Structure 1
């Protein structure tokens, strides 16, 4: 599936950010996590581009 080649699992996002799944889901509940795609089986994926854009939006000016 083409969309999955350019998307990350929740585990991959958590590993990249060095956070727990619980933290990810807390951020998601608060609207602070990157945009997610919910698959028909209930799994979540994060598009690579959405993750990169979200990460840039987290940057603070020095």
Structure 2
């Protein structure tokens, strides 16, 4: 079960949270990232990645199918 989406638009989401929400593996996320298909990421000084909630929502909106 996916945890609730953080409330703040500036909230930083973890890759683990994104993968759980999308029901994808970590390797799928990193494959999308390598191909330029993942949401925009912030790379922290320790090498970890985070995604702003607003960037994630914008990325999801861009994937809606109008068919």
User: Is the TM-score greater than 0.5?
Assistant: yes
The unaligned stretches of length 5 or more in structure 2 are 1-9
| In 2, Cα distance between equivalents of 1:7 and 1:50 | 10
Aligned length: 58
Within a 5 Å distance, the mapping from 1:1-62 to structure 2 comes to 6-62=11-67
Local SS of the residue matching 2:19: helix
CA RMSD of aligned residues (A): 0.9
TM-score, reference length from structure 2: 0.84
Moved over 4 A (4+): none
Higher helix share: 1
